[in-house]
Amino acid sequence: MKRHKISNLLKWKASKNRKPLLLRGARQIGKTWLIRELGKSFENFVEINLDETPELITYFEQHRGQPDQLIQKIQAYLNCRIKAKTTLFFIDEIQESKDALISLRYFKEKMPDLHVIAAGSLIEFALKDISFPVGRVDFMHLFPFSFTEYLEAANQKSFLEIIQNKPTTLDMPLHKKIMSEFKKYSLLGGMPAVIKTYLETNDYTEAQNIQQNLVANFRSDFNKYATRAEVQYIKLVFDSIPQQLGEKFIFNRASAETRSRDLQNGLNLLCDAGLAYKANHSSGNAVPLQAEIKENLFKSFFFDTGLCHRILGHRLNEHSLTDIYSNGGLCENIVAQEILSATDDHSSPNLFYWRREEKSAQAEVDLLIENDDKVLPIEIKKGSDGRKKSLGLFCAEKKSKQAVIVCDQPFKTELMNSKKTQLKYLPYYMLNHLK
């Protein structure tokens, strides 16, 4: 199953200004598989795993700042050859050694012709404890399958071609057929193992079992990045996020008996693990949106909508497809998931929204994104009309030239706010054209 990030990795491979690359993302997202795919384009591929062979960690400790000697030791240990320009050297589970993480900078300085790439689970926690060399290592984030990646894996070439060509004039039968496929994708989610299982078996039950196993694995991972006391807070927040999707996150709803400060720490740990994301309120006056956020006012999203369905106990079957968009929070989550999957390689994954808190004039726009040098407000349509009034208020206040409503209807445009704002109605399957 092809991932779009392979194109980015091939560009990294060919770049003259290449730096060692650290691939980041949640567990079970396919980082190791993707790098092994990249390895097929090299004459030679050498992989080490610091979790499976912890004895190699000693070499990173002994030869800190000496990548040439480090490589000599690894060659001798593995009985292999690691040559500049023709070898891809892959360090997996690199978070097991802080010295290994720090070593990446020295490859750039002293062995720039060697292709070095690293990945691992829970890297964010290891990075907090070291002074990481800014400017000497490149970063890339990997997310669950996007809808277009799902279509490619499902061999839906005709749908894929239509979507990539901006389908603004689709007839209703074809629109409904592609929307049906998007609903299926929303239920399955973007975890590689789930998609692979469903496409091979065409069995929702088998795919649901994989989802259940993944949820159980993530829960068992809590002990890896939290103290015994913190684990209980993580569990409470983990189960509460799918219940509070699309709303201002309230810690008291996760547990009325637990201090908000402890639950806040649990949420932060889930975000560090790549399992959750905050969408911070931003005033939305201009880019960057991050400059005008209120850190205590946020919504939370889960990294994979399919796993949200599983945590909520929704059945994965054909009947569930008919009312999948009755839950507004899940609609927002799948849109947020698609936006995150389009994160630029040189940017951090961020989500934003806008909310007016005044009692007499409350309003909210579901999501905001940076579209070049402009702020693009996005409403996700739930039910018959969504919150077009709030979107109009935002656009009038911020003098926005464009706005988007994501919906299950075919593409159309109209003018609002005395024809000062162009409003686009974008079907869910066109989310890849948001920017």
- Non-local (6+) Cβ contacts of 25 within 8 A are 31, 141, 142, 143, 274
φ/ψ (deg, to 5) at 358: -60, 135
User: What pLDDT score was predicted for residue 386?
Assistant: 46
User: What pLDDT score was predicted for residue 216?
Assistant: 98
Q: Does 348 lie in the same domain as 200?
A: yes
CA–CA dist 143, 190 (Å, integer):
8
Query: What tokens were used for 93?
Result: 């589970």
Residue range(s) defining the domain that contains residue 46: 5-141
Q: What is the CATH number of the domain that holds 74?
A: 3.40.50.300
Tokens 């919504």 correspond to what residue? 299
Tokens 């700042």 correspond to what residue? 65
Q: Does 307 lie in the same domain as 169?
A: yes
Could you give the residue ranges of the DSSP H alpha helices within 273-378?
A: 305-312, 318-322, 328-341
> Number of structural domains, the chain?
2
Q: Does 56 lie in the same domain as 124?
A: yes
Computed over every residue of the chain, the mean pLDDT equals 93
User: What pLDDT score was predicted for residue 384?
Assistant: 44
Q: Does 292 lie in the same domain as 173?
A: yes
Q: Is 356 exposed, middle or buried (0-12, 13-18, 19+ CB in 10 A)?
A: middle
Q: Does 382 lie in the same domain as 288?
A: yes
CA–CA dist 328, 383 (Å, integer):
8
Q: Is 300 left (phi over 0), alpha (psi -120 to 50) or beta?
A: beta
Write out pLDDT tens, residues 127-168: 888 877 678 899 999 999 999 999 999 999 999 999 999 888
Q: Does 122 lie in the same domain as 230?
A: no
CA–CA dist 326, 383 (Å, integer):
7
Give the end of a domain, one of 141, 173, 205: 141
User: What pLDDT score was predicted for residue 129?
Assistant: 82
- Non-local (6+) Cβ contacts of 96 within 8 A are 50, 51, 54, 57, 120
CA–CA dist 325, 321 (Å, integer):
8
CA–CA dist 138, 22 (Å, integer):
6
3-state class (DSSP) for residue 16: coil
Q: Does 134 lie in the same domain as 177?
A: no
Do 211 and 195 touch, CB atoms closer than 8 A? no
> Residue 118's closest CA among 100, 132, 106?
100
User: What pLDDT score was predicted for residue 317?
Assistant: 84
CA–CA dist 42, 211 (Å, integer):
34
Q: DSSP character for 343?
A: -
3-state class (DSSP) for residue 183: helix
Give the end of a domain, one of 141, 175, 192: 141
Do 171 and 179 touch, CB atoms closer than 8 A? no
Q: What is the pLDDT along the chain (435 residues), one digit of tens a residue?
A: 899 999 999 999 999 999 999 999 999 999 999 999 999 999 999 999 999 999 999 999 999 999 999 999 999 999 999 999 999 999 999 999 999 999 999 999 999 999 999 999 899 898 888 877 678 899 999 999 999 999 999 999 999 999 999 888 899 999 999 999 999 999 999 999 999 999 999 999 999 999 999 999 999 999 999 999 999 999 999 999 999 999 999 999 999 999 999 999 999 999 999 999 999 999 999 999 999 999 999 999 999 999 999 999 998 887 777 666 678 899 999 999 999 999 998 888 999 999 987 766 789 999 999 998 999 999 998 644 445 889 999 999 999 999 999 999 999 999 999 899 999 999 999 999 987
Measured CA angle at 388 (ends 386, 394), to 5 deg:
130
Q: Does 198 lie in the same domain as 137?
A: no
User: What pLDDT score was predicted for residue 360?
Assistant: 67
